Amino acid sequence: MGESATIDGNAGIREPKAAPAYLAGLNPAQRHAVEYGGAGEHGSGVFDPPLLIIAGAGSGKTNTLAHRVAHLIVSGADPRRMMLLTFSRRAATEMQRRVERITAKVLGPAAGAMTDALAWSGTFHAIGARLLREYATDLGIDVDFTIHDREDSADLMNLVRHDLGFSKTVKRFPTKHTCLSIYSRAVNATSPLGEVLGTFFPWCAEWESELQSLFAAYVATKQKQNVLDYDDLLLYWAHMMMEPALAGQLSDRFDHVMVDEYQDTNRLQSSILLNFKPTGQGLTVVGDDAQSIYSFRAATVRNILDFPAHFSPPAALITLEQNYRSTQPILAAANAVIDLASERFTKNLWSNRASGDLPALVSVADDNAQAGYVADCVLANREAGLRLKAQAVLFRTSSHSATLEVELTRRNIPFVKFGGLKFLESAHIKDLLALLRWSQNLRDRVAGFRVAQLLPGFGPGMAAKLLDAIEGGARPIRGLNAFRPPTAAAEHWIDFCATIKALHLGKAGWPADLDLASRWYVPLMQHRFDDAPQREGDIAQLAQIASSYPTRERFLTELTLDPPDATSDQAGPPLLDEDYLILSTIHSAKGQEWDSVFVLNAVDGCIPSDLGVGTTAEIDEERRLLYVAMTRAKDQLHLMLPQRFYVHGQRSMGDRHIYAQRTRFIPNALTHHFQSRSWPAAQANASLRRPISPLDVRGKLRGMWG
Ligand SMILES: Nc1ncnc2c1ncn2[C@@H]1O[C@H](COP(=O)(O)OP(=O)(O)OP(=O)(O)O)[C@@H](O)[C@H]1O
């Protein structure tokens, strides 16, 4: 689809001239995407028409974009005038590393300086935050704003909800998380509240006018406290770009704007981009419509489907179709799954990695058997020389791996889990970050509320009094000094005030500020948690992460916006030599690849999730999730089919279970792409409940006393 409003960039692929050495490894389509436009001659982007690169799974999207950036730099473009928008901080770092490696082939040791100058690379939210600080005065915001993560935002929403009396309504008012989701979707999808309620939250539609006033008060409160939530970072940026003078200034600062994973951007992000580069000059977006899996964050696959037609002449479209990752049988199975989707850019992914092994559909009795099978295979693979790190287990929802985690621990197989409870969500880390944030912006009540209650004698009431006193004073620190704490807090008070003051003034510098904060917090932590020693380990790890950021503000911003997926994600050296199995939600597996991949619970109710099967669009997104999972595999792919699984929403291993059907995305017509297995082979149903003659337990119990 989309061809009518598109320039077929692939038509321009010719037998290439001899490639410069640093482009020699690229295939013709990749090389064409790298060199497309006048980049080679002009470097300034002025002659670079808009370009959409549709890159099938494993077709070298990241590789191609890195080469394009490197090629521009080598051709004389100024890296300080490039903006590179990625989906995660990790992707930005990885991109920078690759660009450096490629440019080094031409520039030698000078490459490092050039890629360091690629300072404007990061997520939309992180780049937005930096721009807002820079343009704060133009936008009428205070430059010391702090940023709320989702939990903080929900807490603030709750406070406002309470103030307006909505927590006491006769009929139950939507929860703080639901209110925030509604608000966020309306903002990110740039849709009216009524429409969002009607489509996504029909059970809340009766509260429309209350929600309207709640959101108005929420916005006013954020402004009063000088805090921005995630959505504000995009919203303020989008408003900034609607002002032609500011949009023009920004556009003049950047010759090239490149966006990775464009399929997972939302309407607000596309409006930012289209006002940023209205003619599309210097704009390159890369993505794969078949891998769009973030609509729950209001991402819309329409952004990528409609991109070419926004420009006149329309953007060129180059498709990358050679998959380097997977064997042909794995790719054929994944292609067959995605072919049943309703709308997409056609591409015909192929691979020249032949293999006689079809991917496996493995029937097992239940969750325990599933865990047993995966653990057996992982160990067998390791015996055969495949490191644990080259193997991954993927699942739709974090809770699906619980049984497997027990099995792995029992068998001493180390693993790292991505996409579950995040490091930064643990209470002690949140406490410490709140302390840093509050001392930066003493008007941030959510952070202040958390910090104040760390002190003995401070409950919610006393914490609120302290915050009122700080807010009421002409200067916040004076308000703090004048406050009379309850006696229980007396012995901590002087130290507390001194720490807040020192952090507020930031005299120690970064990362010494974090040491200062930890010195105050760690002794308190001993009283708060039984497992304080383990938690101290986390704090040491936080210090290590902190040392890689130039300033406190950058550290807080980037960590709030894009927390590490797992403790090891940013930990660096300590885990470098160790080997561990990867456990990951499918969402967190985006962009990665492993030799061997196991997908848990490839059954209806899990994939598609029973929560995501309302509309065709939702079903299509679940299908794309399975596609993303399958296309992570290079050599081996196992889709697990437990014949029954326990229904969630009950105590762990309560006995409510259902008999599962193979996922609807692999109908009978596609099973020839797979080999079917049962495990254990001889007794596939062994652990299913079978009738046995009843035990006489009651008799035995009576016998104990008789
Ligand atoms: N021209 C090439 N020659 C050989 N290998 C390549 C080439 N381009 C990419 N690859 C390899 O193909 C694999 C996939 O590349 P990459 O991770 O860039 O893909 P991707 O398109 O970002 O994947 P996805 O969208 O599925 O996450 C990598 O192992 C990469 O090294």
Compute the distance from residue 672 Cα to the ligand 1 centre, in Å: 27
| CATH dotted code for 358-422+578-679 | 3.40.50.300
- The pTM assigned to this predicted structure is 0.76
* Tens digit of each residue's pLDDT (9 = 90 or more) over 421-435: 455 667 788 899 999
From ligand 1's centre to the CA of 87, what distance in Å?
17
Q: Read off the pLDDT of each residue in 233-250 and give the average, rounded to a whole number.
A: 93
Which segment of 147-161, 456-470, 509-523, 678-692 scores lowest on mean pLDDT?
A: 678-692
Q: Which atom of ligand 1 is nearest to the CA of 324?
A: 12
pLDDT value of position 20: 85
Q: Is 169 helix (H, G, I), strand (E, B) or coil?
A: coil
Q: Is the pLDDT of residue 526 over 90?
A: no
Domain layout of the chain by residue ranges:
22-38+46-132+234-320, 151-225, 358-422+578-679, 427-561
The confidence score (pLDDT) of residue 694 equals 67
Q: Are strands 657-659 and 644-646 parallel, antiparallel or unpaired?
A: antiparallel
State yes or no: 112 annotated in a binding site: no
**What pLDDT does 116 receive?**
84
Alpha-carbon gap, residue 352 to 364, rounded angstroms: 32
SS (H, E, C) 574-617: HHHCCCCEEEEECHHHCCCCEEEEEECCCECECCCECCCCCCHH
| Residue 525 CB partners (closer than 8 Å, separation 6+) | 428, 431, 532, 535, 536
Which of 310-314, 477-481, 645-649, 671-675 has the lowest average pLDDT?
645-649
Strands (E), 44-186: 51-55, 82-86, 121-123, 146-148
59 is in an annotated binding site: yes
Q: What is the model's pLDDT at position 47?
A: 66
Give the mean model confidence (pLDDT) for residues 521-539. Answer: 77
For the chain, what's the residue count? 706
Mean pLDDT on 342-349:
70
Domains 22-38+46-132+234-320 and 358-422+578-679 fall in the same CATH topology: yes
Q: What angle do CA 580, 586, 591 make, to 5 degrees?
A: 80
Count of C-beta atoms within a 10 Å radius of residue 467: 25
- d(CA 248, CA 245) in angstroms, rounded, equals 5
**Greater model confidence, 418 or 505:** 505
Q: Quick one: average pLDDT of 403-415? A: 87
Ramachandran bin of 346, using left for φ above 0, alpha for ψ from -120 to 50, beta for the remaining angles: beta
CB burial class (10 A; 0-12, 13-18, 19+) of residue 469? Answer: middle
pLDDT band at 42 (very low <50, low <70, confident <90, very high): very low
Task: Report the 3 state secondary structure along 180-224.
Answer: HHHHHHHHHCCCCHHHHHHHHCHHHHHHHHHHHHHHHHHHHHHHH
Residue nearest to atom 15 of ligand 1 (CA): 60
> 397 pLDDT band (50/70/90 cuts)?
confident
Question: Atom of ligand 1 at shortest distance to CA of 631?
Answer: 26
pLDDT at 209 over 80: yes
Residue 196 pLDDT exceeds 80: yes
Q: Which long-range contacts (CB under 8 A, 24 or more apart) does 204-207 make?
A: 204/174, 204/178, 207/173, 207/174
Query: In this structure, are residues 166 and 214 in contact, taking their beta carbons and an 8 Å threshold?
Result: yes
Question: d(Cα 429, Cα 525) in Å, to the nearest integer?
Answer: 11
Q: What is the pLDDT of residue 303?
A: 81
pLDDT score of 113 more than 70? yes
pLDDT tens digits along 672-699: 999 999 988 655 444 444 545 667 777 7
Give me the mean pLDDT over the 545-552 stretch: 83
- Of 1.25.40.10, 3.40.50.300, 3.30.420.40, 3.30.430.20, the CATH number of 22-38+46-132+234-320 is 3.40.50.300
Mean per-residue pLDDT of the chain: 84
Query: Which of 325, 625, 632 has the most ligand 1 atoms within 8 A of CB, as the residue to mutate?
Result: 325
Q: Of 273, 267, 275, 335, which Cα lies nearest the Cα of 300? A: 267
User: If you search the block for the tokens 């730099």, which residue do you land on?
Assistant: 73
User: Which of left, alpha, beta for 122 (phi over 0: left; psi -120 to 50: alpha)?
Assistant: left
The answer to whether 464 touches 472, Cβ cutoff 8 Å, is no
Looking from the CA of residue 628, the nearest atom of ligand 1 is 26
In this structure, which residue's CA is closest to atom 18 in ligand 1? 60
Residue 654 labeled ligand binder: no
- Which spans in 411-509 are helix H? 427-440, 445-452, 460-472, 476-482, 490-505
Question: Which residue has its alpha carbon closest to ligand 1 atom 4?
Answer: 324
Cα 654 to middle of ligand 1, angstroms: 44
Question: Which tokens in the block code for residue 119?
Answer: 């300072």
Please report the beta strands in 383-439, taking only residues with DSSP state E, as ranges in sequence order: 391-395, 415-418
Helical (H) or strand (E) element with 256: strand 256-259
CATH number at 427-561: 1.10.486.10
Q: Which whole number is the average pLDDT over 77-103?
A: 90
Q: Residue 251 and residue 259: Cα distance in Å, rounded?
A: 15
Calpha distance 455→492 (Å, rounded): 7
Q: Whose CA is nearest to atom 29 of ligand 1?
A: 325
Q: Inform me whether the pLDDT recorded for 299 exceeds 70.
A: no
Rounded Cα–Cα distance for residues 11 and 272 (Å): 30
**Ligand 1: which atom is nearest the Cα of residue 592?**
27
Closest CA to ligand 1's atom 12: 324
**Number of Cβ within a 10 Å radius of residue 140:** 8
Residues with CB under 6 Å of ligand 1 are: 25-27, 30, 55, 57-63, 288, 291, 324-325, 591, 593, 631
pLDDT over 90 (residue 612)? no
Mean pLDDT (whole number) for 569-579: 48
For residue 197, the model assigns a pLDDT of 92
Mean pLDDT of 583-609: 92
Instruction: For residue 39, name the pLDDT band (cuts at 50, 70, 90).
Output: very low
- Per-residue pLDDT band for 203 (boundaries 50, 70, 90) equals confident
693 is in an annotated binding site: no
The reported pLDDT for the residue numbered 38 is 62
Q: What is the mean pLDDT of residues 114-121?
A: 87
Q: How far is CA 558 from the centre of its chain?
A: 13
Ligand 1 atom having least distance to the Cα of 320: 21
